[in-house]
A = this chain, B = another copy of it.
Amino acid sequence: MKSEYRIRLHPPFIVGNEAKYASEAIAQGDLALGEYIGRFERLVADYMEVEYAVAVSSGTAALHLSLLALDVMPSTRIAIPALTFIAPVNAALYCQANVLLTDSDRDTWLMIPQAPPLGFNLPVALYGSIFSTFPEDDQLVDLSQAMGMKLHGRRFPASRIATLSFNGNKTITTGSGGMVLTRDKGLADEVRFLANQAKLPGPDFVHPRIGYNYRMGNVAAAIGCAQMEGIQEILNRQSYIDWTYRGAFRLDERLQFHGYPSECEPSRWLFTMLILEGREKRDAVIRALAEKRIESRPVFRPIHEYRPSLKTIGPLPNATRIADCGISLPSGAGLTEEEQDKVCDIVLRELGQQPPAKAGG
């Protein structure tokens, strides 16, 4: 599809060997199963400093299978931030879990942990960072938005499972795809079993439990292997883009940056800030960018707004404020300095500022 945008929010960054590996998988006739899957799982597991990785068809599938492997049942209470993408809530609802939506921290925008009885928190690494939850709650962490972050110097958090997404706008992409990461072989085996229609090994088709068709195909995994060859470059570029935005906007007190917990070195996946004047001004900036065919995006709406049947824990004022004021700006690793200058200029003009003179410019 010819994008309506000249500058997209977070397009894939092609590292180099994506088409080559995909073509090899096709030439070998290994489109569904094939050796790229295990190779991609190994590359990601090693990078994430964790023992087991299971490649699946999406980040949502990774969350769903993780919750099933953790024996989530209708009685299980799962506290999930109201301010994030719908995937973790949907995954919990597929398991008929008892979802409790929580507010977010004012500065880091991360869920305020709740330690619900008979359940656990499902923290989401919103826009690339995460905090330490209580160790006893650390069942599952959604790292879909945060591949490359470090928490206390480590890429894999202290949870039993963490999940990744390789959707088209993520740090690395396989088109669609996700991964379940764990140190626990039993959990990894269970996830792999459920992802393959709960089929027992052997020639006969025997599926003793409800299973799912959630495997990642070999061509997608081939693309993932090529992407992994460039992950450090991608993260470096994302980081540079994030710092450049911070530099350009640092003087405007009507803007507030995304803060990071001190224990976390974020992945800086997608630059996002608050325009404190509120939703109207924020939407005007989005429109001004769109007129120049530049894609930007409001922060997620808090889930309780559009799913009023879900329970919340108290009022969620921070989530609403961040959603009203938040804007994400183009942050793909391929963004050029010229493109980023243009984005900054339009944002600053719309806020009524002259763009600052560039150092040495």
Contact = CB atoms under 8 A, between A and B. Distances in A.
A223 B26 contact: yes
B26 A18 contact: yes
Interface string A129-146: 000000000000000000
A29 interface: yes
A198 B220 CA distance: 24
B31 A223 contact: yes
Given A32-B173, A33-B168, A205-B85, A213 B59 contact: yes
Nearest to A168: B32
Most buried by B among A34, A85, A213, A219: A213
A219 to B, nearest CB: 5
10 contacts: A19-B22, A32-B176, A57-B58, A86-B198, A94-B210, A175-B217, A175-B218, A175-B220, A203-B297, A207-B307
Given A86-B205, A286-B203, A19 B14 contact: no
A303 B205 CA distance: 9
A347 interface: no
Contacts of A22: 19, 22-23, 26, 219
Contacts of A207: 86, 90, 303, 306-307
A32 B175 contact: yes
**Could you say how many copies of this chain the assembly holds?**
2
Interface string A175-188: 11000000000000
Interface of A: 1-2, 11-12, 14, 18-19, 22-23, 26-27, 29-35, 37-38, 57-61, 85-87, 90, 93-94, 167-169, 173-176, 197-199, 203-208, 210-213, 215-220, 223, 286, 297-298, 300-301, 303, 305-307, 334
A272 to B, nearest CB: 13
Contacts of A58: 57, 213
* A interface: dominant SS: loop
A211 B31 contact: no
Contact of A219 (B33, B90, B219): B219
Nearest to A173: B31
Q: What 10 A-B pairs are tightest by C-beta distance, nearest first? A: A32-B168, A175-B217, A60-B213, A19-B23, A31-B175, A58-B213, A86-B207, A1-B35, A176-B217, A19-B26
B57 A31 contact: no
